[in-house]
Amino acid sequence: MRKEVEGDLAVARIYSYRHEAELARSALEAQGIEAMVEADDCGGQRPLMGATTGGVKLLVRRSDEGRAKHILQ
């Protein structure tokens, strides 16, 4: 079993567009779960790139992953 390390991140969900991921991030943070958005979309200047480069990832701490996925359902 792997020992959990603070800051170890997991993908809670993958979205096609940054604005969807940002709304989900806000919902998680309202529930006390820190989250961040990771996207290869030139800092939001090319929003369609996210959909073609593997999506826009919503990241949370691994320890919050199960709760975050439940909230996002």
For residue 65, tell me if it sits in a domain: yes
- Give the total number of structural domains in the chain: 1
For residue 51, tell me if it sits in a domain: yes
pTM of the model: 0.77
In the structure, what pLDDT confidence band is assigned to residue 39 with cuts at 50, 70 and 90? confident
Q: What is the CATH number of the domain that holds 67?
A: 3.30.70.1530
pLDDT in tens, 8-17: 999 999 998 8
**Among the listed residues 1, 18, 20, 11, the one whose alpha carbon sits nearest the alpha carbon of residue 66:** 11
For residue 2, tell me if it sits in a domain: no
In the structure, what pLDDT confidence band is assigned to residue 2 with cuts at 50, 70 and 90? very low
Average pLDDT over residues 53-66: 91
For residue 35, tell me if it sits in a domain: yes
For residue 3, tell me if it sits in a domain: no
CB 68 within 8 A of CB 25: no
**Geometric angle at alpha carbon 15, from 13 and 20, rounded to 5°:** 105
Structure token digits, residue 47: 């929003």
**The pLDDT of residue 62:** 95
For residue 57, tell me if it sits in a domain: yes
For residue 1, tell me if it sits in a domain: no
pLDDT in tens, 17-32: 888 999 999 999 999 9
Domain that holds residue 56: 9-72
